[in-house]
Structure 1
């Protein structure tokens, strides 16, 4: 099964079409029609519309859902578990996207992709400011820039694709770092955000730090490579209100035991965020570690509830 390509519609000139037959969806995503039908009938993961003659038609939202399913499967999650994970990580529609269409997002993706293809930093900067001025922070990254970044990261086989991804990655890291620096004013609460493993991408960690921050909560992002075994020392010296570990990879079999040991050593609540939190939530339930999830809106909401003592780990 080939890697999904979220930018495939752009490449094939299909961004203005609303519905796609199953054969086209199979070609774009690499998932054969038999599997697509099984995901619908057996697991309810996607719900395409039907023509009067019964033929399936898929929207861009359905294709995005297929890409998400493939992402979880690549991380080792059983297809029978994907539905519950997607349901937990599905946040409420809010902000400017609530009244927007799939076409709006596709047009932003196309413009960002073209600026990246041209290595046009000035145009990419203008696009970033336009999106930032008209949409909530969660939508800027979760709906526009990170999907393009993820698509480029997943498809680097062609000539120039690795360079395009590195170009976008460098641009976004610089912009996120700048906004994190601007948000370093004193806040009433302070959390530490640390990578859980060395496999994580720095940009994903930085974006998580930006999304978790608020007028009341300041976020200190620890550098990639931070030794987990030394986090107790860091917490002792910085005295944060909470320590949040972030990761998007499949959790190790002994993750719950490792985190339980760490929770005993740190002098503050221990929380887990990112896709790892979604996959490990059932195993961690009732233990000393709280799960914030992976969706930006829910992560911030749950963090606020943990800090206020409204929900336990």
Structure 2
């Protein structure tokens, strides 16, 4: 019995042990320059710091580094690894949520059936049930938005345009309500604006809801907001950062405009959504930081950037 307790205590001590960067480099084979880049540029690891600023890595950090190496060996770009790790972490943290494919499919089927009946009351009750059993990120990304996207793409069938409009109106109302309830005295305020002309209002509103946190409040600008007038808006509202959101690849001309816009708005300029994944290499070395497309990763990188822990 005493031997078992001793073994357990040794394991706990190992988990609590912190390693300097040179030791982590020796253990993992990753040089210190790369480890710093993974932390500051991509937010993949978050070592603790001593009072003098030296990095100390836990056993969990070393495990994360080994996982990153595994994905890189599979041919995954380092810019994509964060999304994969974030999805895995979200599933672990929300283990109580309805994460199985069958459960998610059943929720989507029920949403689709309520929409087909134009059953506002039933859809309202279903919305509450979904959020009672699923994390907010999952409720939107795996249940409601897939139905919304499917109806939008498949509007060639008779009645589907009306069904999409019904669901779109319902979700916009519920998201706006949640955004309103989330308003409060946040330590930092961020503006969220559309990038390009192909974004639907609901996509921008959902992005604003998922991007916010207890520390960061998000104010969503309308989808009709002109890009060339964002400097004026930022001058008057003085946000801590401006986030541009799009799920389309920015055109070459637009990508060239972003660094100039970053200088004009007078605050950090960030890019989120699929555009951030698609344009990350193009914007490398520019003052525009890419937050990614996964909701939990966007929130994490936004907090890191505002805290000065993530490079552009």
Q: TM-score, normalised on structure 2?
A: 0.71
Cα pair 1:197 1:247 within 8 Å, conserved: yes
Determine the structure 2 residue equivalent to 1:233.
Answer: 232
Cα pair 1:96 1:136 within 8 Å, conserved: no
Q: CA–CA distance in 1 between the matches of 2:303 and 2:171?
A: 26
Cα pair 1:274 1:294 within 8 Å, conserved: yes
Q: Give the root-mean-square deviation of aligned CA atoms.
A: 1.8
Determine the structure 2 residue equivalent to 1:136.
Answer: 135
Q: Which has the larger radius of gyration?
A: 2
Cα pair 2:97 2:134 within 8 Å, conserved: no
Determine the structure 2 residue equivalent to 1:207.
Answer: 206
Determine the structure 1 residue equivalent to 2:53.
Answer: none
Q: CA–CA distance in 2 between the matches of 1:188 and 1:86?
A: 30
The aligned length equals 232
How far off its partner does 1:255 sit? 2.7
Unaligned runs of 5+ in 2: 1-74
Q: CA–CA distance in 1 between the matches of 2:129 and 2:98?
A: 17
Q: CA–CA distance in 2 between the matches of 1:249 and 1:284?
A: 15
How far off its partner does 1:157 sit? 0.9
Q: CA–CA distance in 2 between the matches of 1:266 and 1:156?
A: 39
Cα pair 1:88 1:278 within 8 Å, conserved: no
**Residue 168 of structure 2 corresponds to residue 162 of structure 1:** no
Q: How does 1:208-223 map to 2 (within 5 A)?
A: 208-223=207-222
Q: CA–CA distance in 1 between the matches of 2:207 and 2:151?
A: 20
Q: CA–CA distance in 2 between the matches of 1:231 and 1:307?
A: 20
Distance 1:162 1:83, change over 3 A: farther
Determine the structure 2 residue equivalent to 1:102.
Answer: 101
Q: CA–CA distance in 2 between the matches of 1:99 and 1:162?
A: 29
Q: TM-score, normalised on structure 1?
A: 0.71
Q: CA–CA distance in 1 between the matches of 2:160 and 2:96?
A: 29
How far off its partner does 1:131 sit? 1.0
Unaligned runs of 5+ in 1: 1-81
Q: CA–CA distance in 1 between the matches of 2:168 and 2:96?
A: 24
Distance 1:98 1:129, change over 3 A: closer
